[in-house]
Structure 1
């Protein structure tokens, strides 16, 4: 059930942050650093009003120089995504505000994505269903089980306004716990494209309650070590999301 008090887990999103703040390639350091920071903002791993990790820590996690990181932050500040503040409580803070949901905005986002929606649905299905099945096969350590329970509780008790961010963190946590950095990176990229589209659509409380029940089914299948049940649970979850998107865009 979606409630009125969410757990603020963003800048401390653990595995979800690891999936976003992964090392960049040296040949495109500036461009990929900008992309990583944008991913963190648009996926809600670092939401509006929150602060990015300290410059030294973030540069080390991304595998770039502090000069490159500063250039990327400056570019995002000029584009209106972040602002840098000085002083003991200073740092780089997210100022980006998502556009107001509307059918026109959703169609504009879809056109700007320049991809076939059916192809994107198929790619997401392969990634998310495969992730859950792999995690069910491998099993969870006690620490991983506790973390997944925390992520589930956070999204289950989220405010409507905060639901999508915590939903993203939950799904990225599944991918990271599966133990494949390549899988986590691919899912991060596809979730960012979907979130741009979803952010342009209104939130339906009844649908979010249904979605939370499906999250619980996914976690139960993973904990039971049942890959087939995990595949079914994720498949049903994605079918609902796809149906809503198709209906809103038609």
Structure 2
């Protein structure tokens, strides 16, 4: 094992010891001193470095594992290994946090109006031939699933369409944020259950966006995306209002997210 790992951390004697340990390990990852696949020093050595009890150290390791930063393996060759946090896990954790913040459709749409037109413009400027073909396949799949009334598959394809466009920004912050906003929007749709007419209008908007991207017209792609986001916001807001008196998240919190 690399001996540099044994001298990486400082004593953790202050209050909130667990937070300090987590913070130091996260900082080491950010600074590049720890990378996915690296194994942390053995429990005894880590305890000596931080000068904490075995119980406190194990509590910190459990927290880091829950956050997705380490993987604790048993047996020969086991230990605590640094892992890359899964994008979907990170997005879902952010979504879970926002469920309890009186989130509104308008909150989501405000963010989408700012960021999604930018993503569409970037896609028009830089999308690869293979990604463009994937966009077209998603739209074709959506149209077929609409015809067959496979509503869950329609929703899956719609979300995948937006996520693929988000990835064209090449910016991991934007990709993550747009991804988890799509996750939240998907939950709104599961609860509000939009009708086939709405899904058809979304399909038409996606085809127009894909065409602008294929033509390399960044301004038109952004304009089409902005109009689409505004239309979706208006429809979902009206649908929610028509069901006045019903708490938007009550079914979600009862485990009916389907």
TM-score by length of 1: 0.55
Match of 1:33, SS? coil
Residue correspondences, number: 158
Residue 217, structure 1, aligned to residue 238, structure 2: no
Unaligned runs of 5+ in 1: 1-23, 35-58, 73-109
How far is 1:139 from its partner? 3.0
1:63 corresponds, among 81, 84, 106, to 84
Aligned residue in 2 for 1:132: 120
**Structure 1 residues 170 and 119: alpha-carbon distance in aligned structure 2, compared to 1, 3 A threshold:** same
Aligned residue in 2 for 1:188: 179
TM-score by length of 2: 0.53
CA deviation profile, 1:92-140 (whole Å, cap 9, x unmatched): xxxxxxxxxxxxxxxxxx974423543331112112111001111x233
Runs of 4+ deviating beyond 3 Å = 24-34, 110-113
Aligned residue in 2 for 1:33: 68
CA distance in structure 2 between the aligned counterparts of 1:175 and 1:29, rounded to whole angstroms: 28
**Structure 1 residues 122 and 217: alpha-carbon distance in aligned structure 2, compared to 1, 3 A threshold:** same
Q: Relative contact order, CA 8 A, sep 6+: which one is greater?
A: 1
The answer (yes or no) to whether the contact 1:113–1:193 under 8 Å persists in 2 is: no
How far is 1:233 from its partner? 1.0
Residue 149, structure 1, aligned to residue 136, structure 2: yes
1:10-25 aligned within 5 A: none
Unaligned runs of 5+ in 2: 1-25, 31-62, 70-80, 90-97, 242-258
CA distance in structure 1 between the aligned counterparts of 2:131 and 2:236, rounded to whole angstroms: 32
Aligned residue in 2 for 1:98: none
Alpha-carbon RMSD across the aligned residues, in angstroms, is 3.0
How far is 1:223 from its partner? 0.9
Match of 2:212, SS? helix
How far is 1:143 from its partner? 1.9
Aligned residue in 2 for 1:238: 229
